[in-house]
Amino acid sequence: MKVLAEKAVVVGTGLIGASLASAAKQAGVFARVSGVGRSEANLQAALSAGHVDVVTTRLDEALDGADLVVLAVPVDTAVALLPEVVEATGESCLLTDVGSVKTPICEAAVAAGAAARFVGAHPMAGGTDSGAVHADPDLFRGRVAVVTPTPETDAAGIEVVERLWQALGSRVVTMGSREHDATVAVTSHLPQLLATCLAETATRCDDRGHLEELIAGGFRDTSRLAASDVAMWASIVDLNSEAIVEAMDAFTAGWERLRAAIEAGDAAAVESILTAGCSMRESIGK
Amino acid sequence: MKVLAEKAVVVGTGLIGASLASAAKQAGVFARVSGVGRSEANLQAALSAGHVDVVTTRLDEALDGADLVVLAVPVDTAVALLPEVVEATGESCLLTDVGSVKTPICEAAVAAGAAARFVGAHPMAGGTDSGAVHADPDLFRGRVAVVTPTPETDAAGIEVVERLWQALGSRVVTMGSREHDATVAVTSHLPQLLATCLAETATRCDDRGHLEELIAGGFRDTSRLAASDVAMWASIVDLNSEAIVEAMDAFTAGWERLRAAIEAGDAAAVESILTAGCSMRESIGK
């Protein structure tokens, strides 16, 4: 495959960063990859597994001569690092990221004067394990990668990032950062918060100590996400609060309709909501 | 194991009824079992697999000489059939059921003058497949079986039903029907309705046709129950509406606290709710 970057720099060699570096090297789209991170142990794990060619804890050192930089750190860290990355790289160096909320980093790129050479990305992949030791070059295969250019991104830059994700085996969906954030507020952040509040409700309803004994598979499935990393989700909620409140309100509107129908004993209305949910869930498959 | 019934009758030889009959025969606690049902094909499936000893579509015929009757039909059908079953059986014949809502059938037993010889039961087991062809004598092994006597049930009758479920490999939890219904409203009915409303919300939020592309494992897990049988759930909602509305309101209280904290940017309050949900979910294991 055609080389997309002679010298790529992956900032953050955790699960996503190391998997991306490894897959891009294997696919031949990154000629050389530098890994940057704070943890020496994690960098050495990425290096010894061959996911990256060189590693350093010094961001400025790594960025020297880079033609593509991938920020693979938490969204708030990426937003904080971006001005330094813009400053240390040339106008021809393409900048991208992998964060799960896209408007803050796209706005940061505009604010840093790098709107033309920044393209956001969000691979819909991940896992419960973290760190370079769990990196897997097939992590993105068969998954959707959302690509979110800024309004001023060069067409050529968009194409490079789209081709990068295609090379990793992902199906690319390109949209604006606000559309991305509103959509994942419904498809990802809303399920997380529902799972959290279901589990939290159970802690308040256990009058006689029998509640846990009557928990079966349905509760487990529906609340599974509640066990996710609290700090990561607190940050996502903070960074996408507006779209999340909107998604919560959309849910509440349906929830209140259902409650009213149940209280009124309106069997037809209850069945209509159950049917709408059933059809939608069946349409997306197992 | 000691025989608990010389002639047991299982009314409804679907997944639960046929599995129960099969397991009770294997365990030696039912000497002979008659299966009653409306579908000849399903009855023949139960008979040819050896789950029951004889089958009939005639309830009165089956009940003759019975010393234990298990109603393994949907709750509303069980409530409708109970007076006939009480009428056709002697005072020494123990009556039980397997429904997922317990107050209506316990009240029906009291109304039919059979409070002393009725003991409700609800095995926390099941599957997506239905019918005698999917029956499995190990279906109840390792699961909880809730036993709900009426306030007047004879102690000896309670003991027989408890020993029946223990013989099938279940762990027995005994409680009043109202406590059962309030608890499953939280552990089973609430997750179902949250999954339904999550899926229903998604149908209203797909402005640009990209929503399904951005659905990943989290949405799938949290909404999985939405694909459940609509008619069955419409009936459960109808039969347990009071406790369900109470559980929905308990959820809504936490949901509104979370929404207010997110809108106010109150990171400490958001994190405290995420942490409560996370701890609870981790405590019940995978």
A170-224: pLDDT as tens digits: 999 999 999 999 999 999 999 999 999 999 999 999 877 889 999 989 999 999 9
Task: State the DSSP code for A103.
Answer: H
B102-129: pLDDT as tens digits: 999 999 999 999 999 999 999 998 766 7
User: How far apart are the C-alpha atoms of A30 and A109, rounded to whole Å?
Assistant: 23
Domain covering A8-175 in this structure, CATH number: 3.40.50.720
Rg, chain B, Cα only: 22
DSSP B95-107: EEE--S--HHHHH
CB-based contact A228 B278, cutoff 8 Å: yes
The answer to whether A180 and A148 are in contact (CB under 8 A) is yes
Cα B175 to Cα A8, A231, B98, B110, B172: the distances in Å are 64, 39, 15, 17, 10
Give the domain ranges of chain B.
8-175, 180-283
Considering only CB atoms, which chain B residues are within 8 Å of A208? Answer: 175, 179
CB-based contact B183 A234, cutoff 8 Å: no
Considering only CB atoms, which chain A residues are within 8 Å of B273? Answer: 196-197, 200
pLDDT at B208 over 80: no
User: How far apart are the C-alpha atoms of B1 and B167, rounded to whole Å?
Assistant: 8
With CA atoms as reference, the chain A residue closest to B279 would be A227
> CA of A6, closest CA in chain B: separation in Å?
31
Q: Which of A192, A219, A254 sits opposite B197 (nearest CB)?
A: A254
Q: Which of A211, A278, A284 sits opposite B215 (nearest CB)?
A: A284
With CA atoms as reference, the chain A residue closest to B265 would be A238
Render each residue's pLDDT in chain A as its tens digit; 286 residues.
Answer: 799 999 999 999 999 999 999 999 999 999 999 999 999 999 999 999 999 999 999 999 999 999 999 999 999 999 999 999 999 999 999 999 999 999 999 999 999 999 999 999 999 987 667 899 999 999 999 999 999 999 999 999 999 999 999 999 999 999 999 999 999 999 999 999 999 999 999 999 987 788 999 998 999 999 999 999 999 999 999 999 999 999 999 999 999 999 999 999 999 999 999 999 999 999 998 8
Determine the pLDDT at residue A208: 75
Residue A148's contacts (CB-CB under 8 Å, 6 or more residues apart) are A102, A106, A119, A120, A121, A122, A174, A175, A176, A177, A180
Q: Give, in degrees to the nearest 5, the angle at Cα A201 between B206 and A226.
A: 60
Domain covering B180-283 in this structure, CATH number: 1.10.3660.10
Helix (H), strand (E) at residue B160: helix B155-167
What pTM, to 2 d.p., does this model score? 0.93
With CA atoms as reference, the chain A residue closest to B271 would be A234
> CA of B244, closest CA in chain A: separation in Å?
8
B39-85: pLDDT as tens digits: 999 999 999 999 999 999 999 999 999 999 999 999 999 999 999 99
For residue A73, count other CB atoms closer than 10 A to its CB. Answer: 24
User: How far apart are the C-alpha atoms of A93 and A70, rounded to whole Å?
Assistant: 11
B169-189: pLDDT as tens digits: 999 999 999 999 999 999 999
ipTM of the complex: 0.92
Residue B13's contacts (CB-CB under 8 Å, 6 or more residues apart) are B21, B35, B36, B37, B42, B43, B46, B51, B52, B55, B72, B132, B135
CB-based contact B205 A247, cutoff 8 Å: yes
CA torsion angle B103 B105 B107 B113 (round to 10): -160
> CA of A76, closest CA in chain B: separation in Å?
14
Considering only CB atoms, which chain B residues are within 8 Å of A252? Answer: 252, 255, 259
